[in-house]
Amino acid sequence: MTTAHNALAVIIIGAGKGTRMKSSLPKVLHPLAGRPLIAHVLDLALSLTPQRLITVVGHQADAVRAVCEPRGATCVLQELQLGTGHAVAQAEAHLADFQGNILVLYGDVPLLQSHTVRALWHEHQRQQATVTVLTACLENPMGYGRIIRDTQGRMVRIVEERDATEAQRAVHEINSGIYCLDAAFLFSALHQVGQNNAQGEQYLTDVVAVAVAQHATVAHVTAADAHEIVGVNTRADLAHLETILRRRICATLMLDGVSIIDPASTVIDAEVQIDRDTVIAPQTHILGRTHIGSHCQVGPQVVIENCTLGDGVRVEPFCVLKDTTVPAHRTIPSFSHLTS
């Protein structure tokens, strides 16, 4: 039986336009390793089996809904983007009967891993905390809110960079923006949080100060890998995260028994499956929902998209395969172009 403190709802904020992307496509729908940014976050949320899953949509809401609702998310509209606190407040009516805790995630922070979020959730439960903050330590913390602690090391405030003093900007521990919060406290605190800041927005970070003022338990977990909490604001950010994620995908496959001769030149999408003892040669692109069996030889310089390859298939250099199935133990000769 799920007790109130064990009950979990997840809110994913995905309403922003992403002006710095300079794109007609909403930021959270830009592809990363073959999937929309927000799809990676939805999968992370679903891995926690939450009792409720809510996505806050805004810019091009219908397009974002089309990605989120088939995955079981309830979408709520934030008509005006007035800050993270304002975004979360849009979900209040949908959680009026919910007694438990809320995990806040972001549709443009796609590299967060389940073990990190589970550590946050477990610490929140262990301390019976009101708020638990995921922090990270960065060499260059520019652009992030700083974690401000008292002389005993207790977290007392999170200050956004634009509102920080010079001394506060020198702090290297930053706020990821990812929290576990007691639901009743969260919505009560949001009613107390104003917009007295440089942007005239309602910051979710200010609920931490409310918790401190109420002498509530404020806990934290520090991410071991700061890359996990990096968000996408520009196309350069997107390319940076693409490099990190593709390296992660290759590393996972190699640990599972796949040989990838040159990971740096190999592109493998997030939904690709490759079985053991298959060898992927350099400059090979494996895209979409492709499944490659065991003991295959692929490449070099091959493109495979949305295909199924049986065990023992050999794909020789300079081939393109799209939307097709190759039976086991076949050889596809060089320069072949196969489609369904």
Q: Per-residue confidence at 154, pLDDT binned at 50, 70, 90?
A: confident
Q: Where are the domains of the chain?
A: 8-229, 257-339
pLDDT recorded at residue 2: 47
- Note the pLDDT tens digit of each residue in 171-230: 999 999 999 999 999 999 998 887 666 676 788 888 988 998 899 999 999 999 999 999
CA 57/CA 254 separation, integer angstroms: 37
CA 281/CA 329 separation, integer angstroms: 18
pLDDT recorded at residue 1: 39
CA 19/CA 17 separation, integer angstroms: 6
CA 35/CA 46 separation, integer angstroms: 16
Report helix, strand or coil for 254.
helix
Report helix, strand or coil for 150.
coil
- Look at residue 20 and tell me whether its pLDDT is greater than 80: yes
Surface-to-core class of residue 264, CB atoms within 10 Å of its CB (0-12 exposed, 13-18 middle, 19+ buried): exposed
Nearest C-alpha neighbor of 65 from the set 55, 52, 78: 55
DSSP label at residue 271: T
Count other C-beta atoms under 10 Å from residue 107's C-beta. Answer: 30
CATH fold label, 8-229: Spore Coat Polysaccharide Biosynthesis Protein SpsA; Chain A (3.90.550)
Report helix, strand or coil for 126.
helix
CB 54, CB 73: distance < 8 Å? yes
Point out the catalytic residue in the list 20, 154, 169, 276.
Answer: 20
- How much of the chain exceeds pLDDT 90, in percent? 83
- Look at residue 145 and tell me whether its pLDDT is greater than 80: yes
**20 in active site:** yes
Per-residue exposure over 165-176, b if at least 16 CB sit within 10 Å of its own CB, e if not: eeebeebebbbb
38 Cα distance to chain centroid = 7
pLDDT recorded at residue 197: 61
Q: Which residue has the higher pLDDT, 203 or 253?
A: 253
CA 328/CA 340 separation, integer angstroms: 17
Q: What is the CATH number of domain 257-339?
A: 2.160.10.10
CA 104/CA 8 separation, integer angstroms: 11
